[in-house]
Structure 1
Amino acid sequence: MKSSQPIICLSSFFHTSFLCTVGLVIFLNTITISVSDNGNETDTLALLSFKSMITLDPNGVLSSWNTSLHFCDWSGISCGKKHQRVTIVNLTSQGLTGSLSPHLGNLSFLYELRLGNNSFEGSIPNELGHLSRLRVLALFRNKLYGIIPTNLSGCINLEEIRLSNNKLIGNIPTEISFLSKLTYLSINYNNLTGGISPFLGNITLMEVFSVANNSFGGSIPDTLGRWKNLREFYVGTCNLHGTIPDSLFNNTLLTRFSVANNQIQGSIPIAIGSMLPNLVYFQLRGNQMTGVLPPSISNCSKLQFLEISYNQFSGKVAVDFGNMRDLVNVSLGVNLYGSWEADEMKFIDSLKNCSMLETLALYDCRFQGVLPISIGYLSDQLQTLELSDNKLYGEIPSSIGNLVNVGTLSLEYNQFTGKIPSTIGKLQNLQVVALHHNQLSGPIPDEIGNLSLLTKLMLSSNRLEGNIPSSLGNFLQILQLSLDDNKLSGNIPKQLFQLSSLTIVLNLSQNSLSGSIPPEVGHLKSLNELDLSYNNLSGSIPSSLGACTSLSSISLERNLFQGIIPPSFSSLRGVVHLDLSNNNFLGKIPQFLEQFSLEYMNLSFNNFEGEVPIKGVFANASAFSFFGNNRLCGGLVNFGLPKCKEAQKHKKRLPLFVKIILISFILISVVLFGLLSYVFILRKKKRKDQVSQLSSLEKRFLKVSYNQLLKVTDGFSENNLIGKGGFSSVYKGTLDQEDSFVAVKVLHLQNRGAHKSFLSECEAWRSIRHRNLLKIITSCSSVDFQGNDFKALVYEFMPNGSLHDWLHSRAIASRLNFLQKINIFINIASAIDYLHNHCLPTVVHGDLKPSNILLDDDMVAHVGDFGLARFLGTDVNQNISTGVKGTIGYAPPEYGVGSEMTSNGDVYSFGILLLEVMTGKRPTDDIFSEGFSLHKFACDALPDHVIDIIDDSAIDMQNTEANARKMEECLASTIKIGVSCSLDSPTQRMNIEIVVHELQHILDVLQNM
């Protein structure tokens, strides 16, 4: 055959030159084939060359590739019956590592090359262009880099190209447009640029075009409208602008269409229903589209997924959804709807015919009016109903009790009035009920206690009255119970204090509750925050409260409590916020409070008496308040309290001659002691420093000098250096002979902003306290041995380093699994929630990133580095508000245009951090440029392709099929949180309280797998 090709050309003298050229191309494409009479040798050598470049074969799939077997019997190899030549190489998902051999180009009879879902590195060999018979090229989900070879155009029979989830760069070669048989092109999740070429429109047989999550830029070419066989079209997160060509909407075979997360403008064609009658999946979310949702879309009777949220659609929703019986998800959230017409919400009536509906998301749409009764006649498959952040008013229809499978009911931030319908008790699958910030009145229905699966009940900021039903004690899985800011009265049912599942918060503040705290409070052993403030509660604090050892915040202020602080409080060593002010407490202030890690304590306006301790929080005037206790004495001198009477009385009882004798004796003793010990005084001082055994880190370093820090860090040795940044260096130090470690952060005062960073961090640590915040032991403001200013902070040492180390350091061999990651996210989110919603004033961290998240012995995460922190509503640190705002990649976009720091900025940083942990990609990686970001990378994977972007360490491939499905759902839910937190619009980002809950739900699912 080799010799016949040039003969054909030479004997075609009377044929056209075009045919000669074709013959020559075919000849050139085959010259790499062996000249052996038997092509078997060629195939054998090509396959063995491929095997030689494999560095890891965990499943031993290539163990059969040896000369003792014919290659047609090798694993993953299929041959043609006639010529016994290799026609298929299929090694998909075998865990192979290595690079691709160029000798694969010698498999001249190859029809299919399937090497997807492995770890191949390097470039795609140009020699693959010699495979003229190749129909399927599947190299997806590897680590291939470089460009897409232009000479793939030589594979003239190619029907499918699958190169997604690699690291390919450059553009889509124009030469691919020569592949006239191509029907499937998938190159999503790469680093491609250069726009979408108009020449691709020449591939008239195209059926699936998937190029999402690249950095193409440009617009969608009108020429793609030539694809009359097009069924699926995915260009989400490609930094595209302009409008969607009308010609694309004329592809009547189109079933799935996604342009999510670009800067697409324009509107949806009015006649879309007749233009795309086969549409199943329609995703426009995250663009700048305007206009109305055309009523004709109701003719898309096969539509299952409609997501047009996060745009600027407006006007009245006048769609008759009755014909769209297969709808599963309707997401219209964050748009500008609103017609001011009385029947604005009437479209919900037609949704009752959608028997498959699982999600109805209409949040933040500017809808107003009454919620129709038909809301209760939606699909019995409905799982999520989100109507929050609108202007809905009137009563919540009692028909809502028909939605028996709803797990999330989100109606917060509206203007609902009337009572909570008792029918809500029928929703046995409810896990989250969010009705806060409305104008609901009347009692909490007793039937709500039937919701045994509830994890979060939020009824705050309404006008609810009457007693708290004891039936709430049935919430055996509850994590957060917030009934604050209402008009509730009566005693607190003891059943509430028996909810041992409560871990986040029990908030009953700002009501008119009376009675005492029952001893059952001791069951709340896992609770983080207890807030009973601003009520009429009385009696003594039960000693059983001391059993709640997970508490970090206790707020009992503005009540009628009396008696002493019980000795059992000594067990609450995790408490960092304690407010007992404005009560009738009496007795002495317990000395054991000196040993606590308290960052804030308010004992003002009680009847405490006796001596004020002087250590721990009592040594910090800004963290400790005692006003209105007129019988206190002692304490630090700057408190201005009188000396304690007991000491004065004792002195008056001594006769004058006894005083003279004692004073004389003391003077003589001091002189003699000084003469005897003068020579040894320095040695004695040194030894005393070494052997001093104090009970806590606070006691050791209440006052620390430059020399002491110089000593514990071995002279700030490079061997002890564990981190370095723009403002500081961090050293590990040994405190004593027991090898107790601390971290010493030394400020680089010569760098601009370092001094302000020091002041900001010191101020932050005076105001915040939480178990997931890195604990500061003390600060040092001194001079060094050269007389220069020296400032340092001493922290508890985190032996497992930073989250950044676990993600990107080669020194750490193991990686975090998914369960560990979720726990870390919960730790961080809980700390942020505390800073934003439970601190007075609110604290904005300003620099959340993996390097500022430190891990202790138990892999519990602690948020550190408050050098850029800001206090909202105060004058504190106003002078640095116009300076550095966070770190590139983690700082929200609004900071880059001069906006002030806000809590929404922290939420953005948390979202980026979460996505980095889940995907293993830094937000500043080279692939993220020209509008393509980590946020967009993750967003376009939702909801069906999340598994493609997840860092492999997060996935346990040994799960059962059922667990694998749950795992994928958990992964998708986690990515959704990260995407929702990192939206460009600050007001559209997910509330951090919701984040904590959603993460806890994911954790519960994982733990039950």
Structure 2
Amino acid sequence: MYHPKTSRSLGMQYDAVGGWTPRLALVLACAWLTACADESMPPPTPATLSITNTPTELMAVGDTVRLEVEVRDQSGQAMEGRTVVWVSDDPSIATVSESGVVKAVGVGTATIMAETGSASASVQLSVAAAEYWMLVAFYYATGGDEWTNNDGWLESQSLGNWHGVDVDTAGRVSRLRLPENNLTGRIPPLVGEFARLEWLNLSDNDLGGPIPPALGKLSELEFLWLGQNELDGPIPPELGQLDALGGLSLSHNALSGPLPAELGGLGSLDSLLIGDNPLSGPLPAALTGLSLTTFGYANTDLCVPGGEEFQAWLESIANHHGTGTGCDAPVSDRDILVRLYEVTDGPNWTNSENWLTEAPLADWHGIVTDESGRVTHLTLRNNGLRGRIPAELGNLARLEVLVLGENDLTGSIPPELGDLEQLELLWLFDNDLTGTIPAALGGLGSLKTLVLSGNILTGAIPPELGDLKNLSSELILSDNDLEGPIPTTLVGLGVYRFHWYGNRKLCAPGVGEFWAWLESVQDTWGPLCNQSDVDVLKGLFEAVGGPEWTNADGWLSGPVLDGW
């Protein structure tokens, strides 16, 4: 049956000779091309992955960083929103979260890997201890590039290879020792963060500014040496928190103000050196709780409180070098002499003529003065003095002769006597003086005669006595309780008389150099350390025909046995 409408519709697409119309051909061609395109172009997939913000510096333990990535498909087009899987090859060094946040948790190197589909990328991160960065900051704060020795610094993470740095078994800084190394600038407070630090020695440099109170956080610190710098300001009371501290040296700086009472809480402290600073005020009474063997505060404006307890504490310190100034300090030679009179039972002296009167000091018994009225001679031998020698005598700056022998003086010899730069003669013999011979006496550069015999002095002879290069007359140390071999530093003293007898444990070394020096001294008296060996060998020689021996070279020639 003929349908005109249908025939017309089809006729528009198919002509009379059976051909397709142009419109239908076009539609079919497009459909074919689309099908071909879909078959030759696969869907986009990740082809490359890159980490765009790789850290360029070492990380410190505790640091975090978010890594960013870029994903591109096979045609180079960016792919947003792709899920990336993050992995650390060593989570003990660095961890990484699902979102790419890396946290440094240990010292070392770790590789962080990112993956999405078949694409991946990785970055290697180095983590240094926090103390690495602290040392780096310290280096630049103190002019490290100009240090005398900066070997190893900044060259690696092995802190123990850096000059002056010691580390413990865990790699933590335990000692920082950089004396005489041309450090400049200021001590950075971050030094107080070295939690395992036991020694800090920055002495003999050019460091200025204040001492950081943060040093008081170093709970394991045993020694703190900051002497011989240009530090100023007060001594921080926070240093009193250093419970493990055994030695504190702050001398030869420009520190000012009072000595903090908090230092009296340093129960482990053995040595306290604060001299040569413009410190002022009284020594805190809290110090009497310390068991010091060395205490130096000379050349300061610190004064010594009155009272027997504090005086007794000072006298218990083996090496004590102070100002010799009481807080009610004498300010003139007359005041010093009045102090001597008061503490040595002056009213009962054998002769106290004119003492405490308004007469010139030269008219006081035993006193000689120079043209300006300054005391040059103090001679009170066998005069009934009783009590302790006052440290204030060390302030008689013009004193040349000090004779207090043959009295009933007790207590220790004040180290302050070592400040008497013009003293030529010191006689303290035949008293009841106790304690050790102060090493400070070695500073008496003008001294020619030293007589300390007939007391109850103990301990060893301080080697510093060998510094008495002008000692040309007598060195008499006999009849005490001194002990040990005589120090070889005495070799070279030009004395003509040296006596050390009457000390149960004191002896002269039987060695060549020392014996040669003794032989050069005109008058010597005292035992040799090897005398018993000499006596045994001498007895052997005499008992077994020594004079007839084939070889008896050197025998009985003297106490230097290695020459026999």
Superposed pair shares fold, TM > 0.5: no
Q: Which has the larger radius of gyration?
A: 2
Identify the structure with bigger relative contact order (alpha carbons < 8 Å, sequence gap 6+).
2
Which has a greater percent of helix?
1
Please, what TM-score do these two structures have when normalized by structure 1? 0.25
